[in-house]
Amino acid sequence: MKRYLLTLALITGTALGLTSLRAQTNTMAMGGTNAMAMAATNAPVAAWTTNAPTMEQRMESVEAYFQNADPTAPYKDTNGNWTVNFGLAGNIINTNLANSVGANVSFPGAGHNAWLLTSTALVLFMTLPGLALFYGGLVRKKNVLSVLAQCFLITGLTTILWVICSYGMIFGGDGTPTGPLGMTHDWIKGIMGNPGVCWMFKGVTSAPNPGYSYWVSENVYSMFQLMFAIITPALIVGSIAERMKFSAIFVFMTLWILLVYNTQGHMVWGVNGMMNGCWNANATIHGLDFAGGTVVHMSSGWSGLVLCIILGKRLGFGKENFTPHSIVLTYIGASMLWVGWYGFNSGSAVAGDVIAANAFTTTTIATAVGSFVWPMWDWIVKGKPTVLGFCSGAVAGLVLITPACGYVLPSGALWIGIAAGTIPWFFCYKVKGWLGMDDALDAWSVHGIGGMCGAIMTGMFARQAANPNLATNLSKYVTDKIFQPQLVEQLKTVVVSLVLFIVGTIVIAYITKALVGLRPTEEVEIQGLDINEHGEEGYVG
């Protein structure tokens, strides 16, 4: 009896599913391409009538999925008031539809969500194991595990902070759910978010947050952004490798994420951020940073520089041989970074749309050109094209294209790639030596300088043809010329960011020094951090 009922239920379910599928197909066939035009001819209806949505409106709402646009727009008049009602005499005629176009869109679009889920995993792959291996290979044998440990520490630590308050500090504020502290607004408007917003991930669900995406679940978006927050402090490790205590890294990174990263992220990417030029019409500085040239690369590179100066040089710097212990690991790590970076850059479109497609293309071009140009300089100036040169050139290409990838055309990406193989190269080989500081794995030369060049070149090569969003808030700034007003906005963004990174890092470094001290004892440093701080060795036997 039970089995009979189950079979019956299964058949009924399948039949219902097929019927609804056919109904959808019919809708698609009827809608056609003139659905938008038909909807547009509808006279605006007074707010909240008892009208059921028309087939044209529903079709237009579905089309919004393909254009990564607002699915509720077809149901609203020019003032944003609802023009339709999904209930009829108290009965909901279509529960799914009513949910989908309710006050908030309550379920995501499968394709956009799938790409962001994939991108999120790719960006995590950049840190673990990509960056960990890239840096791990560059240090000496006795410190390889310390770098791997630091990268993993940062991954866990950042995630915990993210769930507690970091996500809300960057992406909350002004309209997103309220936390226990009872505030929805920034601590400093447009600059520093309020940790009480989305406290403990409150209100972050599988439903999209239209402030950032109409079609991607907010929890997916949040996890995607978390991966950026993870790789940024991990990049700082490159400047201070082989000579900072694990406990000091723990304290420094906690404070740095909360105060520096979250502030910069909110300013540049927060929906009301003071430097979010693309999306915030009231931005003080109309900056552009597609995937994190200032937030991720300048922040880590310049903070790394400051911290490495405060820390001092490694023992034996300038006397002992500090050459990488395994260029093979570095090579594997750099190649993984390139693959993962597609999620980083192309995923930053927060959709599988035309902008993501362009970002993927420009990322490939700039990286390939960077990886080609850098070792050519090695060859011309030093006589040998080094493998580390290929790896560094690729990473520099990725860094420079990061802020630009969603805003520039392939031709712009080519110039950015050439700059990537040249300017950071010059800083690595010459300027670093002139300054005489111990930026152990060149995080400053590649990420600090590279991120800055990328931010500036975004101002030169951003084109409305590459990204339709540049034609709205920034139409006065992006005028499709090399020396367009956007360049000035980018320079302002760079200066404000630098002040935050340098001042923030100095303060946090001295707080850390006072709390736990920064450097291990001489004996520990000479023996290696692996055996002393972690009780393990990278290579045994």
Partner 1 sequence: MKKIEAIIKPFKLEEVKDALGEIGIEGMTVSEVKGFGRQKGHTEIYRGSEYTVDFLPKIKIELVVADNQADAAVGAIIKAAKTGKIGDGKVFVAGIEQAVRIRTEEKGDAAV
Query: Taking the complex as a whole, how short is the minimal distance between the CB of residue 319 and partner 1, in angstroms?
Result: 6
Which residues, in sequence order, are CB contacts of 43 under 8 Å at separation 6+? none
Judged by CB under 8 A, the residue of 105, 148, 251, 388 near partner 1 is: 388
DSSP output for 439-503: -TT-HIIIIIHHHHHHHHHHHHHB-TTT-GGGGSTTTTT--SSTT-HHHHHHHHHHHHHHHHHHH
**Between helices 218-240 and 110-125, what is the axis angle to 10°?**
20
**CA gap 533, 242 in Å, rounded:** 11
One-letter identity of residue 219 = N
From the list 154-162, 266-274, 353-361, 431-439, the region that binds partner 1 by CB under 8 A is 431-439
Residue 267 has, within 13 A of its CA and on its CB side, a CA count of: 25
Crossing angle (nearest 10°) for helices 387-401 and 449-461: 50
Q: CB 150 → partner 1: shortest distance, Å? A: 21
Identify which range of 17-25, 300-308, 364-372, 426-434 contacts partner 1 by CB under 8 A.
426-434
- Residue among 408 and 441 whose Cβ is closer to partner 1: 441
**Residue 321 CB, nearest approach to partner 1 (Å):** 5
152 contributes a contact to partner 1 by CB under 8 A: no
Pick one of 170, 298, 428, 496: the residue that binds partner 1 (CB under 8 A): 428
Q: Residue 320 or 536: which CB sits closer to partner 1?
A: 320
- Six-digit token string for 356: 């993501």
Coil, helix or strand for 208? strand
Whole-angstrom distance, CA of residue 318 vs CA of residue 210 = 54
Which 8-state DSSP code applies to residue 76? B
Question: Is 429 a residue that touches partner 1 (CB under 8 A)?
Answer: yes
**Interacting stretch for partner 1, rule CB under 8 A, among 47-55, 353-361, 429-437, 490-498?**
429-437
Q: Give the one residue of 22, 189, 384, 430 binding partner 1; rule: CB under 8 A.
A: 430
Distance, CA of 169 to CA of 496 (rounded, Å): 19
Q: Output the smallest distance, CB 338 to partner 1, in A.
A: 20
Instruction: Tell me which of 112, 245, 432, 447 binds partner 1, using CB under 8 A.
Output: 432
Q: How far is the CB of 401 from partner 1 (least distance, A)?
A: 23
Mapped onto helix, strand or coil, the DSSP state of residue 291 is coil
Give the interface segment with partner 1, choosing from 24-32, 223-231, 353-361, 424-432 (CB under 8 A): 424-432
* CA distances for 303 relative to 343, 466, 497, angstroms: 25, 32, 11
Compute the CA torsion angle 122, 125, 131, 137 (nearest 10 deg): -130
Which is nearer to partner 1, 157 or 431 (by Cβ)?
431
Compute the least distance from the CB of residue 528 to partner 1, in Å: 18
Which residue number, 83 or 330, has a Cβ lying nearer to partner 1? 330
**Structure tokens of 118?**
């994939």
Residue 389 C-beta: closest distance to partner 1, Å = 9
Among 63, 218, 442, 525, binds partner 1 (CB under 8 A): 442
What is the widest separation between alpha-carbon atoms in the chain? 86
User: What is the rounded distance in angstroms from the CA atom of residue 267 to the CA atom of residue 288?
Assistant: 11
Q: How far apart are CA 240 and CA 534, in angstroms?
A: 17
Quote the least distance from Cβ 317 to partner 1, whole Å.
8
Size of the site for partner 1 (CB under 8 A): 16
Task: Output 186 or 438, the one with its CB closest to partner 1.
Answer: 438
For partner 1, give the closer residue by CB, 152 or 317. 317
The residue within the footprint of partner 1, chosen from 17, 433, 514, 536 (CB under 8 A), is 433
Q: Does 536 bind partner 1 (CB under 8 A)?
A: no
Q: How far is the CB of 526 from partner 1 (least distance, A)?
A: 16
Compare residues 317 and 372 and give the one whose CB is closer to partner 1: 317
Closer to partner 1 at the Cβ: 22 or 430? Answer: 430
The interface region with partner 1, picked from 344-352, 428-436, 447-455, 495-503 by CB under 8 A, is 428-436
State the nearest-atom distance from the C-beta of 133 to partner 1, in Å.
18
Structure tokens at 195: 């940790």
Element (H, E) at 343: helix 327-346
The interface with partner 1 within residues 276-335 (CB under 8 A) comprises 317-323
Spatial CA neighbour of 446 closest among 471, 468, 470, 428: 428
Q: How far is CA 435 from CA 343, 430, 440, in A?
A: 35, 9, 13
Among the residue ranges 359-367, 399-407, 423-431, 449-457, the one whose residues contact partner 1 (CB under 8 A): 423-431
With CB under 8 A as the contact rule, which of the stretches 205-213, 273-281, 432-440, 463-471 interacts with partner 1?
Answer: 432-440
Element housing 91 (H / E): strand 91-92
Q: Which residues bind partner 1 (CB under 8 A)?
A: 317-323, 388, 428-433, 438, 442
